[in-house]
Structure 1
Amino acid sequence: MKYYQVTLLVRGNRRNIILKANDRADAISKAKKDYQGTLIRIKEISAPIDATIKEFFSQFRTTVANKKVQPKNLIAAIRQLAVMTNAGISVHDALNEIAGATNDAKLKEILTQASENINSGLSLSETFKRYRYDVGGITLAMIELGEQTGNMADALASLADILEEIQENVQKFKKAMRYPMITMGAMAIAFTILIMVVVPKFKAIFEKFHAELPLPTKILLGIEHVMSNYGLIVLVGLVFFIMLILYLYRNNENFKYKADKLMLKTYLIKDIIFFATLNRFSIVFTELVHAGIPIADALDTATSMIDNAVLKEKLEAVKVSVSRGVSLTEAFKDTGVFENMIIQMISAGESSGQLDSMMRKVTDYYRMRFNYILDNMSSYIEPIMLAIIAGLVLLLALGIFLPMWDMARAVKAH
């Protein structure tokens, strides 16, 4: 949306009005519709400061407060929709029935709105695109598949299976992270208590002897000073910082791209994102190819549901290359994303005319790699956790005992 300053002549008086519109023609249309007068001049201007601030806080509140539909409720709704459409019930009636039965307020809103939009002539995929954040890219891709093939019931049934698999992986991830999170949380509480209770007592002793303090002790005393005097400010600032990062990630494409690029270079996170993304991509792409969708269209749909901006950019290059006549094997190879074994499997499937069958094997491979990471999550995290705990214990030990030893030696010397 852009801002325009429109100059009108209303009853002999010159008026300047600021409008928000998609383009110049839209601004002219709004000016003529909302104001009675003669249009004299229109020019694009930068966004007013007050409007920018107001829009920022509005989007910020929406971003922070917005919650996704509960996965189990979405899966149940899709299962019901698949069964009802397979039984010959219209999508409009099925959506109304499911909306009335669900207890999820957000899902009820989406289904009710979808029913109304379908009644007014929109497709189910067009309706759900407005709720992409809530229902996810895979849901959109599979609904589009059902519309393209004319077999919505099978597409929805496959979608429910895919979402159930993803939800199982999410539960595995949470289960794997539970022990490290509890351990680190307990360590953080213990460290905070030591800083707030024990360190101040030693601080009084150190100040009494006016001894030169070593660096670890200075660090501990600095942390204690900040937590004692600015603890609440630091906590509020940390919460605001996290919320700001989330806002920028969801609303600023440049920031999101840099963040996604950084995550693909971060230990463990890079493997989780990489294999989860390629697993989802291959699942959707395989389903589309198996349904007889042209490869270029299948790539377009499968790529659209990828969240990581860096991987999405590389896979979009595959779509462009294929549309220009490059073979799928060469297009995948040029991305540098797929390992040689995968390229050979795709090549074999493409040359034999059994691409969908070979892509299922590729999907199974990425599923296996992703599940392996989840199943061994604790073994990946333990070294990091031990290093953090060891660092905190070492800091406390050196910070407290080093100056005590120095003072003991000073007393003996006297």
Structure 2
Amino acid sequence: MTADSKDEVTSALRRMRINPLSISESGSSGGSSLFKRKAKITEKDIVIFTRQFATMFNSGIPIVQGLDILSKQSENKAMAEVVGMIKADVETGMTLAEAMKKHPKYFDDLYVNLVAAGEAGGVLDDVLLRLAVYIEKTMKLKKKVKGAMIYPGIVISVAVLVIAIIMIFVIPIFAKIFTEMGAQLPAPTRSIIWLSNFLGGIGGLMTAGGFIVFVFLFKKYRATEGGKKKTDQMFLKLPVVGDLIRKVAIARFTRTLGTLLNSGVPILDGLDVCAKSSGNKVVEETVYKVRTEVSAGKTVAEPLSSSDIFPSMVVQMISVGESTGALDQMLIKIADFYDDEVDNAVANLTTMLEPMLMVFLGITIGYIVVALYLPIFKMGEVIGGK
């Protein structure tokens, strides 16, 4: 049996009236086990499941029957097993939201809260469709941000690789020639040869090891509460990149809260979900502060106005939405606007980084080439003088 944890296996077996004596995780002892890894459940799988389930429920198919059909039709075995476990839990008397809550890896607080609101309000099909749209929009937003990082990442990687090959393999050949000639080397050439010897020897290992240790320690630091907050604050203050992070955070917050409110989730619960799903410690603390102020009787716009994250335009639009009783619709409009703003920020980031990287690469390689050819030019002058 395949499951995310021993508890899930135990629950599934007990529903089949089987009391397990012991449960152990299967290892990779079998020769074919390497080819039988459990399939991963992606956001795309969740979107497909959500849309199909909404269509079935809207067509009058009961929840259990719909889950049964989806578990049998799913091409992803892992998804089929999860849906099958949800179906079994619903058959025992759980609500759909309660059954999904047992699988937080695939159905987060936002999903569960929306499904619970849909079940309570009798509009589960509408809520599921909103969820599918929300997940699709979120996926698109993530794709934009990742896309902005791919090109600079490739250029930097290629630049580092080219420079490393030149420093470790090409320059030693020139250094040997210069040594045999006994020529007096100029300062740029001596510096390049020294750096080549450093990187080609223990220095290269030290540099690589230092980088790996730095990345490891940075991840460890970010895993702490204080570390995550400090680094998130630092990222928000970065030029261009900080602006992109801020716009992504605003788009995510407004779309999440707008979708929750539009589906009937109470505002305090909605703010709680937004804080947990923000992905940024600074934004999370800001949203929790807003939740505290709202629970004390204030509007959402009031505490947001004192935040450094949300610009005055967003605060004013939220205030208008609250005063007109259409906060959910206003939040969705803000989210759509900031999705476009993220597009512009990504384009600006790419436009700015591309020439900077090219200039850096050109200067670096140009310096290396000039440093290598300076001794040759000097030798030519000496020979010409004779």
For Structure 1 versus Structure 2, the TM-score category normalised by the shorter chain is 0.7 to 0.9
CA distance in structure 1 between the partners assigned to 2:78 and 2:97 by the alignment: 18
CA distance in structure 2 between the partners assigned to 1:253 and 1:212 by the alignment: 53
TM-score (norm 2): 0.74
Instruction: Quote how far apart the aligned CAs of 1:355 are.
Output: 2.4
Q: Does 2:49 align with 1:72?
A: no
* Structure that is richer in strand per residue: 1
Instruction: Return closer, same or farther for 1:294/1:178 CA change in 2, 3 Å cut-off.
Output: closer
Corresponding position of 2:329:
357
How do residues 97-176 of structure 1 correspond to structure 2 at under 5 angstroms?
Answer: 97-129=69-101, 131-134=103-106, 138-173=110-145
CA contact (8 A) 1:142 1:284 kept: no
Corresponding position of 2:242:
270
CA distance in structure 2 between the partners assigned to 1:297 and 1:70 by the alignment: 26
How do residues 340-351 of structure 1 correspond to structure 2 at under 5 angstroms?
Answer: 340-351=312-323
Q: Does 2:64 align with 1:84?
A: no
Which of 339, 345, 369 pairs up with 2:311? 339
CA distance in structure 2 between the partners assigned to 1:239 and 1:185 by the alignment: 16
- Ranked by relative contact order (alpha carbons within 8 Å, sequence separation 6 or more), the top structure is 2
Letter of the 1:214 counterpart: A
Higher mean displacement: 78-87 or 311-320: 78-87
Instruction: Return closer, same or farther for 1:139/1:412 CA change in 2, 3 Å cut-off.
Output: farther
Corresponding position of 1:226:
199
How many residue pairs align between the two structures?
349
CA contact (8 A) 1:82 1:157 kept: yes
TM-score (norm 1): 0.69
Instruction: Quote how far apart the aligned CAs of 1:307 are.
Output: 1.2
CA contact (8 A) 1:99 1:107 kept: yes
Letter of the 2:303 counterpart: A
Corresponding position of 1:384:
356
CA distance in structure 2 between the partners assigned to 1:257 and 1:379 by the alignment: 29
Corresponding position of 2:290:
318
Q: Does 2:176 align with 1:204?
A: yes
Instruction: Quote how far apart the aligned CAs of 1:306 are.
Output: 1.2
Partner SS state of residue 274, structure 1 = helix
CA distance in structure 1 between the partners assigned to 2:204 and 2:130 by the alignment: 50
Instruction: Quote how far apart the aligned CAs of 1:322 are.
Output: 0.7
Instruction: Return closer, same or farther for 1:301/1:380 CA change in 2, 3 Å cut-off.
Output: same
Corresponding position of 2:338:
366
CA contact (8 A) 2:172 2:196 kept: no
CA distance in structure 2 between the partners assigned to 1:225 and 1:311 by the alignment: 44
Corresponding position of 1:302:
274
Partner SS state of residue 335, structure 1 = coil
How do residues 176-255 of structure 1 correspond to structure 2 at under 5 angstroms?
Answer: 177=149, 179-208=151-180, 209=182, 211=184, 214=187, 217-218=190-191, 221-223=194-196, 225-227=198-200, 242=215, 249=222, 251-255=223-227
CA contact (8 A) 2:233 2:282 kept: yes
Instruction: Quote how far apart the aligned CAs of 1:68 are.
Output: 6.3
CA distance in structure 2 between the partners assigned to 1:263 and 1:67 by the alignment: 34
Instruction: Quote how far apart the aligned CAs of 1:385 are.
Output: 1.9
Instruction: Return closer, same or farther for 1:372/1:136 CA change in 2, 3 Å cut-off.
Output: farther
* Cα root mean square deviation, aligned: 3.8
Higher mean displacement: 75-84 or 235-244: 235-244
CA distance in structure 2 between the partners assigned to 1:200 and 1:285 by the alignment: 60
Q: Percent identity?
A: 26
Higher mean displacement: 310-319 or 191-200: 191-200
Partner SS state of residue 341, structure 2 = helix
Partner SS state of residue 237, structure 2 = coil
Letter of the 2:159 counterpart: M
Partner SS state of residue 338, structure 1 = coil
CA contact (8 A) 1:141 1:284 kept: no
How do residues 33-44 of structure 1 correspond to structure 2 at under 5 angstroms?
Answer: none
Instruction: Return closer, same or farther for 1:200/1:82 CA change in 2, 3 Å cut-off.
Output: same
Letter of the 1:99 counterpart: S
> 1:155-196 deviations in whole A, cap 9, x for unaligned?
111111122223334444555555544444443343233223
Gaps of 5+ in 1: 1-64
Corresponding position of 1:29:
none
Corresponding position of 1:16:
none
Gaps of 5+ in 2: 1-36
CA distance in structure 2 between the partners assigned to 1:399 and 1:131 by the alignment: 61
Instruction: Return closer, same or farther for 1:138/1:406 CA change in 2, 3 Å cut-off.
Output: farther
Partner SS state of residue 306, structure 1 = coil
Instruction: Quote how far apart the aligned CAs of 1:84 are.
Output: 2.2
Partner SS state of residue 48, structure 2 = helix
Partner SS state of residue 126, structure 2 = helix
Higher mean displacement: 351-360 or 128-137: 128-137
Instruction: Quote how far apart the aligned CAs of 1:212 are.
Output: 6.3
